[in-house]
Structure 1
Amino acid sequence: MWPWSRVSLTGSPSGENWNTPTEEPSFMPCKGDAASISWIDTDADLREAVDRWASFSSIGVDTEFQRTDTYFPQPGLYQVAAGDQVYLIDPLAITQWQPFVDALLDESLTKIMHACSEDLELLHHHLGVVPVAVFDTQLANAFSSTDYSASYARLVGGLLGVELEKHSTRSDWLRRPLSERQMEYAWEDVIYLQAIYERLASALDDLGRSQWFADAMVDRGSFVRTPPDQYYLGVKKAWRLDTQALGRLRGLCAWRERQAIAEDVPRKRVVWDEHLLSFAQSDALTEREVAQLLPRGVARRYASDIVREHSALLTESPAAEPVARPLTQSQTQVSKRLREIAGACAASLEVAQELIGRKRDTDQCVRHFLHTGELSDTYRGWRHGLVGGEFRAVLLERL
């Protein structure tokens, strides 16, 4: 039996307030402790919990969700760790979210998260906000080690010496009541964030990289959903289409995106990218032709809509932004040279090369320079001082 107890929200916060990230934590969480978990399933309890967080300068935040048959993630649980207290917030029961939203938007309260992109998407969809003052432990670790995408369990083990049990990644977080194993997983997933934060923040300070990390968090800590009329830019082989077909692909992708959002189903449940690519290349499309490509049920449901949309696009299809073409062989060699420079820089800093220059980053830099004569946005920020000069010299010489 895993030792945890549901506690009342009355009284003062347990544990000491960790105001300074560089200080050692006052307690190290472990399963042997009488760990405190508060199950929050009423609006009143949520308000009181948020009031308790006001005495802390930072909290750990995590989410559990499901997204197997839906377009949007479905919230199953929100976890917040403040000191040695873990709050498990039930999104299936809470109706008044403003106190929680206020905490997420509080600039003075650091929200410690790990690999936060999916969590931010969930919060944006469910609550309509993107948290501010976010500290992503995975990104912070990348600035202080050669491990670019460390898992939470690896950080807990490497920094704190605590080995987490392996849990199944398949779990129904919409089921109630949650199992004891789910409770254990939810507790583990958030309770160590504060201690990790303190060690990583201290390491960044010691290395003089706190500002680099802060600059990088501006991008990592934001969430912008791709507009429906921009989805076509990511379709494989779309660059091969002529101007007219590309305009039709843009329109068909936008239709599919709106349809998936309206029905809250994965976009592939409506129509696959490759099918839309095929339809876009046709100057005239019939329901029979659509039915020959799509599964029977999908064709029955969407064939007439696809043909109607396609017909409208034949007469009214505004010019679409060109899709990036693959680099030529010589351009690929330039991108490779940029990665060599990034790799040498990363080695000297003892960080992973991906932090300085991934293939997609250097490829985009080459494309951007060809069109504008300037470095891409990726290399205008903190990376510019590291490799910007060398990148520009190579691009000027070889493009």
Structure 2
Amino acid sequence: MADGMDTGLEQFRAETRAWLEENCPPSMRTPMPEDEIVWGGRGEKFKNPESKVWLERMAEKGWTAPTWPKEYGGGGLSQAEARVLAEELKRIKARTPLNSFGLWMFGPVLIEYGNEEQKKRFLPDIVHGKIRWCQGYSEPGAGSDLAGLQTKCEDKGDHWLINGQKVWTSYANEADWIFCLVRTDTSVKHEGISFILFDMESEGVETRPIKLISGSSPFCETFFTDVKVPKEQMVGRLNGGWEIAKRLLQYERTNISAGGFGSAPGAMPLYEIAKHYVGEENGKLDDDDLRLRLADHMMADKAFNLTVRRMGEQSKTGEVSHTASIVKYAAAKLNQSKTELMVEAMGFQGLGWEGEGFSEKELTAPKAMLRAKANSIEGGTSEVNLNVVAKRVLGLQDHKG
């Protein structure tokens, strides 16, 4: 049985390799600049025309979502085949054809909790990058205590009526649709939440970008004023949204842990950056203290990636556990450490903000360091994740004093 399986996988590998060689455009095998990342959606402009070609070819195969069922536009691959595909994409250094909250978070929970009509309506468009999604979770008074959300959703007979506010909504000003947590019962907390979908062009939806200390504005305040939503766009049962919300957060933390923070596209390895700016003596970095801290970081990063790989194997079998909280916490710490070491290694050249005398990558470094401060907040704060680990993984009980 094993020999037959191996033979089948090797045949799949050969076919996949041949297809990629023929269909992956040359520029899609180079490091991806920040401004060429493809998010999809109605407003996608494709700065590089070959990005559009690459997305269309991969989506047609269903390989933007390789393990999703074929009937919903996915690739229908087994977990083993998906691993082979990932290996072959990595071999040719292929760019990710599509970055999408729909792929990472919303799609998986829709497959699990959505009805057949919802799956057929939304999943193929996610695979093809036709709709860009954003996530309506946090509110001004409901961040770490997400279940305290107050955005109100009323049953008006033939539609839902939504009023309220979200905050830290990533790319809400560029998204087409939102998957949103709303309160449908004010008499209970967790049991009064529902999960609903609606178009961001609906009347009554307003977004206001929030400028961060890094200078960028990826997050928004989002306001809903008498937004009408068709009844069929609620996912799962009425007042059953908290279960879906928790599941989606597990997928989000898994994705963040597996590289969601990551490096800027095309970024040099940290040691190469240090070698460039600090220099070497006798084959060693010419700064003993920095060399030691870089070595510690690199070992921790290696151990982390091996852990993520193991967790990824578990998730591919449908097991998305609370261990995602462990690696999400570690990922935040590692990325903050990495960006701080990068700025330190650059010395004076790592302190530029704008103007002449600094390269584009040098100007990116301090912004990346400041941006990394949010890693311990987004996707569940580090404090909340530690509580999840304590209770759900270690089985610790609340101390009653």
TM-score per shorter chain, which class?
under 0.3
**Structure ranking higher in strand proportion:** 2
* Alignment TM-score, normalising by the size of structure 2: 0.24
Greater relative CO (CA pairs within 8 A, separation 6+):
1
